DNA sequence: TGTACAACCTCCAGCCACTAGAGGTTCAAG
DNA sequence: CTTGAACCTCTAGTGGCTGGAGGTTGTACA
């Protein structure tokens, strides 16, 4: 049996965040002591690790809620879980593509202002004039 | 002279967002008609384009506020503007690195569950067990 | 000149995923 | 039995908008 503080230490998830997950319906409400403090079992620890790992992978609370439900219903987990994971993979890839565009754009802006840093400021000029951009955004 | 709606059409920034920028101190409060409606000049349009472009590049409102101040003070813009832009470039690169790690991780999870989709769900298993991860996060 | 109605105004609430603080209670070590 | 760290609940704030309520103005047309 772990207190919320011990659980926090073991998982690296902050105490208020654990309570938040409970409130959001991701984490089952644990037993309480007679004095109303939370006491977690091993399964609570495992569930929290699951949530924390999924969050680290960037899945939304909503996605995780769904995965948690699937996990507790062994009849129909795999297809849908797979769907959630691969949808998320696609969105991660889209974000990478977008950030790479930004990277190129920013490199250009920074490089120009490196080369020629007198008079008018090129950073500000480049930011002001979208027409100078190489890609759309 | 543009109404707020025209400005919105020309820049692609939504009307409530324009008001939000004004409120946040990014966009100068424009003239008003006798009936209290906003009327923008060309310089307002340019300023909003600047903001919108900088946002599209992922700069924070706070960063943009600073750039806007720098832009209006031609004494000391370049060094600081360059600093903001290159700090942002660094953070974009960090985000790309992080997302690429996630991509690898998710690919692994999705691939496993592709290959072997019977019995226990591997998506959920992989998410639950951080020890299976190849990289830290 | 009157009227209809789209566009405008302000203010307030909500979104996500936490995080921080106030103010009070409980647990456990000494 | 006392101390004080850790716990409890509840509320509010973060960033960057977005949407709605309820009321006013601008403008095109009859």
Distance from CA of B3 to the nearest CA of A (A): 21
* Residue A78 confidence (pLDDT): 72
d(CA A5, CA A129): 52
Residue B23's pLDDT is 92
User: Which tens digits make up the pLDDT trace of B33-85?
Assistant: 999 999 999 999 999 998 998 888 788 898 888 888 877 776 666 777 788 88
* CB-based contacts of B26-30 (< 8 A; 24+ apart in sequence): B26/B51, B26/B61, B26/B64, B26/B65, B26/B68, B27/B51
Evaluate if residue A118 carries a pLDDT over 60: no
Three-state DSSP string of chain A:
CECHHHHHHHHCCCHHHHHHHHHCCCCCCCEECCCCCEEECHHHHHHHHHHHHHHHCCCCHHHHHHHHHHHCCCCCCHHHHHHHHHHHHHHHHHHHHHHHHHHHHHHHHHHHHHHCCCCCCHHHHHHHCHHHCCCCC
pLDDT band at A90 (very low <50, low <70, confident <90, very high): confident
* A39: helix, strand or coil: strand
The hierarchical CATH code for the domain A4-76 is: 1.10.1660.10
Residues 13-32 of B with CB under 7 A from strand D: 14, 16-17, 20-21
B70 to chain A, any CB pair closer than 8 A? The answer is yes
pLDDT grade for B116, boundaries at 50, 70 and 90 = low
User: Which pLDDT score, from 0 to 100, does residue A127 have?
Assistant: 72
Give me the total of CB pairs closer than 8 Å, taking one residue from chain A and one from chain B. 143
CB contacts under 8 A, A 79-98 vs B, are 79, 81-82, 84-86, 88-89, 92-93, 95-96
Q: Does B10 score more than 80 pLDDT?
A: yes
pLDDT band at A92 (very low <50, low <70, confident <90, very high): confident
Pairing of strands A31-32, A38-39: antiparallel
Query: Is a pLDDT exceeding 90 seen at residue B4?
Result: yes
pLDDT surpasses 90 at B128: no
Confidence of residue B19 (pLDDT cuts 50, 70, 90): very high
Which range, of A53-57, A119-123, A133-137, B128-132, averages the lowest pLDDT? Answer: A133-137
Q: Among residues of chain A, what percentage have pLDDT more than 90? A: 36
Mean pLDDT comparison of A2-11, A75-84, A102-111, highest-scoring range? A2-11
């Amino acid at each position: 049996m772990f207190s919320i503080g011990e659980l926090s230490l073991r998982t690296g998830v902050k105490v208020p965040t654990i309570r938040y997950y409970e409130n959001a319906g991701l984490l089952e409400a644990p037993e309480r002591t007679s004095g109303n403090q939370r006491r977690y079992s091993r399964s609570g620890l495992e569930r929290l690790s699951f949530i924390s790992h999924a969050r680290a992978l960037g899945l939304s609370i909503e996605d995780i809620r769904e995965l948690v439900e699937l996990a507790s219903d062994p009849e129909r987990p795999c297809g849908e879980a797979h769907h959630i994971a691969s949808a998320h993979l696609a969105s991660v890839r889209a974000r990478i593509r977008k950030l790479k565009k930004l990277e190129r754009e920013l490199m250009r802006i920074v490089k120009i202002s490196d080369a020629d840093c007198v008079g008018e400021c090129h950073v500000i000029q480049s930011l002001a004039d979208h027409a100078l951009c190489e890609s759309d955004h």
